[in-house]
Amino acid sequence: MSEPAISALPMQVREPGLPAKVTIYEVGPRDGLQNEKGIVDTTVKAEFVRRLLDAGLPIVEATSFVHPRWVPQLADAADLMTELMTDLGELGRALPVLVPNERGLERALELGLRHVAIFGSATETFARKNLNRSLDAQFAMFEPVVSRARDAGLDVRAYVSMCFGDPWEGAVPIEQVVSVGKRLLDLGASQLSLGDTIGVGTAGHVTALVDAFTAAGVGTERLALHFHDTYGQALANAYAGLRAGVTTFDASAGGLGGCPYAKSATGNLATEDLVWFLEGLGIEHGVDLGKVVATSVWMAGELGRPSPSAVVRALAG
């Protein structure tokens, strides 16, 4: 009773009321690799980014200019960006990079990069753990980063971490997240990426958070959602966000990723599982699923462990 190969794409059945198009913001090279135990070669990272772009991913966050003492995995950030700019020209300069502080921004400016991202916290405890300052003090720290970036013509994305739950504080009040997000937008960020860093959020919580931003005057076009699959909720949460009108979703090829400062954070929503979901709904995403799967299979070989993405396992099996 041998079976033929499964079709590599699901049957399409649209659902009324959903957006026609979604932007997948690929975070595998940054959020994925920063949490790997081993150090990946710069040439392998560059190849990873190139392959993701070639697969049609419209935005690929390439690395972080974090201090090598904190994230040695990304100590080659400048070398990587130089290699990518040599290779890709303007396309390389347009790849977003995370800048944790002014020093990180300076390095991005020196290289002539065009898109940066800052990484804020929705909670007091995580602000202290990750930024070494209070929740309120983070805005004073980010203010010169964002204003200098904006003055130089750069676009700034703001991550908000621990938007649903915090390992030290438990559930995070929705109004607190909205307040933090609005303050980051007021500094000059163009987009918020609302992160469920430890993956505890559920669908109704996602809907309520997005609705609360909308009610506070922040439209869904300024929001992205960033889910981790710690409790298996990432895709259901993305579905809730999509229904609430969000059209940008962070994902990581092969489901790589986590957070080096929160052991309970496991991999990101896998790009492939999100693509399968969007494809089934007939929502435009622009991604060649076979190429992303092949990239994740190759990367799993480089990392020496299988991809946690269900779609990668199913299609590469």
Point out which residues bind its own copies (CB under 8 A).
Answer: 1, 3-4, 6-7, 10-15, 18, 129, 164-165, 167-168, 170-172, 198-205, 207-208, 229-233, 235-236, 238-240, 261-264, 266, 270, 273, 276-277, 279-282, 309-311, 313-314
Structure tokens at 160: 């908000």
- Helix or strand (DSSP H, E) at 280: helix 271-280
Least distance in angstroms from the C-beta of 208 to its own copies: 5
Least distance in angstroms from the C-beta of 101 to its own copies: 19
Q: In what order do the strands lie in the sheet with 115-121?
A: 59-60, 23-26, 248-251, 223-227, 191-196, 155-161, 115-121, 97-98, 63-64
Q: Which of 220, 253, 209, 219 is nearest to 48 (CA)?
A: 253
Least distance in angstroms from the C-beta of 106 to its own copies: 27
Least distance in angstroms from the C-beta of 251 to its own copies: 11
Residues taking part in catalysis: 259
Instruction: Report the DSSP beta bridge partners of residue 165.
Output: 171
- Helix or strand (DSSP H, E) at 237: helix 234-243
Q: Which of 137, 72, 144 is nearest to 105 (CA)?
A: 144
Phi, psi values for residue 248, rounded to 5° = -120, 125
Q: CA 105, CA 91: separation in Å to the nearest integer?
A: 19
- For the chain, state the CA radius of gyration: 18
Whether the CB-CB separation of 251 and 269 falls below 8 Å is answered with yes
Least distance in angstroms from the C-beta of 234 to its own copies: 9
Q: Considering all CA atoms of the chain, what is the largest pairwise distance in Å, rounded to the nearest integer?
A: 65
Whether the CB-CB separation of 103 and 70 falls below 8 Å is answered with no
